[in-house]
Chain A
Amino acid sequence: MDLKLGHYNKDGIEVVDVEGEIDVYTAPRLRELLIDLVNKNNYQLVVNMEKVEFLDSTGLGVLVGGLKRVRAHDGSLDLVCTQERILKIFRITGLTKVFGIHETVDDAIAAKKSEK
């Protein structure tokens, strides 16, 4: 399965839907989308990974790169993920401490609003 990307704005927060496999081949497309969103002044991002089937260190790198970009504008990048196979990768790399990880998009948006 290839990578499918979509995004929409909800309550001033840009939600990125990711579906499929994020690896060394597909990750550049996600990177380009995140960079594009930041360049268009979207600094509050939620990446919905509920339909991600595979994530490797290249994908982690893209997410960390996105986080770095939004933080430069006092923004944040949160994740939506409940899949154990994906969460495990964040856990073994210690990145659960770096990203806010939520169970639903609504949870992630509510958490961002309460931070403001």
Chain B
Amino acid sequence: MATVEVTFTPLPAHVRTARLVATAVARRSGVDESLLDEVRLAVGEACSRAVEAHQRHCPAEPVQIEMTDSGERFVVVVRDHAPTAAARPDPAAPPGDGTDRNGVGSGGVASEGVGSGSAGSDGAGADSAGAEGGSAIPAGFGLAVISGLADDVRVLSTSSGVSVQMSWPSTAAPS
């Protein structure tokens, strides 16, 4: 069972609440103070991504966050229920192979590669900026930021949605 679970309607205004709760639980779980900014940003990115996916596909469904303190790791899973590419039949893909559809590898992501590959060269970020009015940053950029921050990131894409699992070292929390 998760230590703390949060579900929220997929509205951008609630992402801040999710960040605050995650940071508070991380602190309580004994995550080092120097890592709390990373937790806050990574959870915020994962929730922003989930909110956008839900707003497109299932605005009535809540976004779910599970935060678990195992004693050694503080684990956060942000789960959305928006249908993904994995939900559609893809004859080229073997059955059940629904992982890693977001350009971020599962487990032990090479953060340098993801980060610098997104906007490494001079002007690349601006040149790749998308249509104005929407985001100027390509889809998946938030996940790239997460993988640049957390040393353990797993992205699992299934027919029922995407879950982003992140973890940080924690010490045993005082009771």
Chain A interfacial positions (CB closer than 8 Å to B): 21, 23-25, 35, 54, 56-58, 60-62, 64-65, 67-69, 71, 85, 88-89, 92-95, 97-98
Other CB < 8 Å A-B pairs besides A56-B48, A57-B45, A89-B145, 19 of them? A21-B16, A23-B44, A24-B44, A25-B15, A57-B137, A61-B137, A62-B136, A64-B137, A65-B129, A65-B135, A92-B111, A93-B115, A93-B118, A93-B119, A93-B141, A93-B148, A94-B121, A97-B121, A98-B123
Q: Are A56 and B44 interface neighbours, CB within 8 A? A: yes
- Asked if B12 is at the interface (CB within 8 A of a chain A CB), the reply is yes
Q: How far is the CA of A25 from the CA of B17 in the complex (A)?
A: 11
Which B residues are closer than 8 A to A by beta carbons? 12-13, 15-16, 19, 37, 40-41, 44-45, 48, 51-52, 111, 115-116, 118-126, 129, 132, 135-137, 141-142, 144-145, 148-149
Question: What are 30 contact pairs spanning A and B, CB under 8 A?
Answer: A23-B44, A24-B48, A25-B12, A25-B13, A35-B132, A56-B41, A56-B44, A56-B142, A57-B45, A57-B137, A57-B142, A60-B125, A61-B129, A61-B135, A61-B136, A65-B132, A65-B135, A65-B136, A67-B129, A68-B136, A71-B126, A92-B148, A93-B118, A93-B125, A93-B145, A94-B118, A94-B125, A95-B119, A97-B121, A98-B125
